Structure 1
Amino acid sequence: MKLAIALKAEMLKTKRTASFYFTLVGAAVIPFTFLLNLIVDGLDDTRKDPLNSIFRVASEMNGLVIFPMFVILVCTLLPQIEYRNNTWKQVLTAPHTKGRVFLAKFLNIHLLLFLFLVADLIFMGVVVVAANFIDPSLHLLQNPFDLGKVLAKWGNMYLAALAIGSFQFWLGLRFRNFIIPIAVGLALWLTGTLMVFEYKSSFATYFPYSFQTFSLLPRTQPLLGQMAWTSLAYALLFLILGFADFRNRRMTA
């Protein structure tokens, strides 16, 4: 019950920021791109299995670029609210333990991550309906739709981001200046992507910022199960280290 109260307080603070609208805008990027592409060029490349192909390509684009960048930004910026408003002393004098505050902040961020994924699916559904009217020859609404496979892809997207999100959350709490953790996150994301596509490094299997690429390549798709467990293990490790750092540090703002 006390955790629920702390979480509600974090959600109320989030409502006063642009985080909610930022989440919806981020989720709309790929659906809007698809709709624009449909209007301008059509969707000839998806005619063999148009409905499932649209969601497959959307998950690949989101999983590789949009969602990891969103995770890096939101997991870094939301913990910075107290630094920006100089309210750490007020938060820590409230009747909540540091552990409760830490967990409430983490759960609040993951509510936004779930909102992103759900909103993205809804927006893609709207695009499919629009595409059915724009190009009736695709017969989108008459095509078989593998919902289980689509949900599995979005689930893999979330699991791949667990390690990144936990590490960025720790950095967001650790540094007063948000530029440092965001720069670190983007640099590691670029490094992880290059390790897979450019250098084909075997170390990428254990590098958290490479996990978002695993569902894209035939050689790494069999490792999705291992990736999910590794990402979860990293997330737990980063949360433990992050909480130990948060508990033992005096928050001066």
Structure 2
Amino acid sequence: MKAFKFYISSLKNELIKLRRTLAFWLTIISGLLFPILFFIAYSIKPLILDKGVNPWEKFMTLQIENSIPFFIPMFIVLIASLIMQIEHKSLGIKHLFSLPIPKWSVYFGKLSIVILAIISTYVYYFLAILISAEVLGLINPDLTFLEFRPDFLKYIKLLTSTFIACLGIVGIQFWLSFRFKNFIISLGMGMFLAIVGIIVSQAEQSIYFPYSFSVLSVSLGDKMPMIFGISAVAVYSLGCFIVTILLGYLDIRRMNIE
């Protein structure tokens, strides 16, 4: 019970510190960016389908397939680096580790905030897609958005699979961002690996490269290799996440913060 109180206290402190920071606004802006761009594109050049065809399928699939696989790795790299930069910049880590609280509560409290920021961006993104389509339907009835309903469960499952596929990146980037005081080092390494992940995603071996998992989670579709009935990308991503988070914690626990 005492351990749980330490964790909740750390989580509350992290939420308070996150408010009014660039990382906080980034979660909102990132979630709205692509739906706004698609809204503008549909407003300028509407994609009117044949009568009786559900327009939600095309509208939502196009957005997810063309934004999430490439955008989310970049976002994770940036948000993890920014959240940790708040502490490194103000020597907050040194202060936190000097307090009579366990290091694990600080470490996992910050990790929870990073994951919460990513989930929040997913929620903003999904809601923005739905709202933008409804508004388009009001502006241009020929798009027939108001005559049909989207398959909510289908797209929630798809977005969930892309989120799980990115957990490996979360583990790696959180460790790097915690380990290096210099914001540029963790950000530069992450961006480089994210770009490499996109480039090599067409290679067969990319199934073992965490920074390619977000692309593969969408591009492979029914061709996705399975492990005990579970997506191979999901299994590898979760495995990478668990291993890197544990190794990161062991590294931080023995580290002297100066």
Q: TM-score range by the shorter chain?
A: over 0.9
2:141 corresponding residue in structure 1: 136
1:68 corresponding residue in structure 2: 73
Does residue 126 (structure 1) correspond to residue 131 (structure 2)? The answer is: yes
1:162 corresponding residue in structure 2: 167
Structure 1 residue 18 displacement after superposition: 2.1
Contact 2:22 2:82 in 1 (8 A): no
2:35 corresponding residue in structure 1: 31
Which stretch has the larger CA shift, 157-166 or 14-23?
A: 14-23
Does residue 217 (structure 1) correspond to residue 222 (structure 2)? The answer is: no
Aligned residue among 183, 192, 205 for 1:178: 183
- Read off the aligned partner of 1:154 and give its amino acid letter: L
Q: TM-score of the superposition, structure 1-length normalised? A: 0.92
Q: Which digits, 9 at most, give the CA deviation of each residue in 1:198-243, with x for residues without a partner?
A: xx32210110011011133347742371111110000001101111
Q: TM-score of the superposition, structure 2-length normalised? A: 0.91
Contact 1:46 1:54 in 2 (8 A): no
Q: Distance in 2 between matches of 1:14 and 1:57?
A: 32
Q: Distance in 2 between matches of 1:31 and 1:251?
A: 42
Q: Which digits, 9 at most, give the CA deviation of each residue in 1:121-160, with x for residues without a partner?
A: 1111110111101221121122242111100111012111
Identity of aligned pairs, percent?
A: 26
Aligned residue pair count: 249
- Read off the aligned partner of 1:75 and give its amino acid letter: A
In the TM superposition, 1:107-118 aligns within 5 A as 107-118=112-123
Which stretch has the larger CA shift, 232-241 or 42-51?
A: 42-51
Q: Distance in 2 between matches of 1:62 and 1:96?
A: 41
1:7 corresponding residue in structure 2: 11
Q: CA RMSD in A?
A: 1.8
- Read off the aligned partner of 1:202 and give its amino acid letter: E
Q: Which digits, 9 at most, give the CA deviation of each residue in 1:62-105, with x for residues without a partner?
A: 32222221111011221222210122232112232011110000
Q: Distance in 2 between matches of 1:17 and 1:95?
A: 27
- Residue 215 of structure 1 aligns to a residue whose secondary structure is helix
Contact 2:18 2:24 in 1 (8 A): yes
Q: Which runs of 4+ in 1 moved over 6 A?
A: none
- Read off the aligned partner of 2:111 and give its amino acid letter: F
1:151 corresponding residue in structure 2: 156
Aligned residue among 232, 235, 238 for 1:229: 235
